[in-house]
Amino acid sequence: MSDTPEQAGNGLRWNAWNLLLLVPLAMLITPFINRDGPHLFGMPFFYWSQFAFVIVGVACVGIVYLKTKDEPVRTDKPDLLSADDLDEGDR
C-alpha cells in the first residue's frame, strides 16, 4: 500500500526477446497478402499465407516463452534494491 504512484512503481522489465511478439503483426499489412497467386493446394495466396502466419505466431510466442522462462523472479521484495535492503545485506 503506497500513497504516491511514484513510490508504488509499475514493475516494468525489459527483455529484448519480447520484441519477437511484434513479428506476427506483419500479417495485418494487407497489401502484402492480398493476392491470388501462387496457389497452394488450390488455395489463393491470401488464404494459405495467413495459415502460415499461425505457425509464425506460435513460433514467436514459443520462443519468447522458452527464452524468458528462467528469468530470475524476485518475488519477496521489489525488484530494485532500496537502501533498506542494502542495509539488511550488511547485517
The residue ranges that bind other proteins (CB under 8 A) are 1-3, 5, 8-13, 18, 21-25, 27-31, 34-36, 39, 41-44, 46-47, 50-51, 53-54, 57-58, 60-62, 64-65, 69, 73-79
Q: Which is nearer to other proteins, 50 or 88 (CB)?
A: 50
CA distances from 44 to 31, 34, 51, 60, 62 (A): 14, 9, 11, 25, 28
Q: Which residue, 3 or 90, is less far from other proteins as judged by CB? A: 3
Check: CB of residue 33 under 8 Å from CB of residue 49.
Answer: yes
Note whether 13 and 74 are within 8 A (CB). no
Q: Shortest gap between Cβ of 10 and other proteins (angstroms)?
A: 6
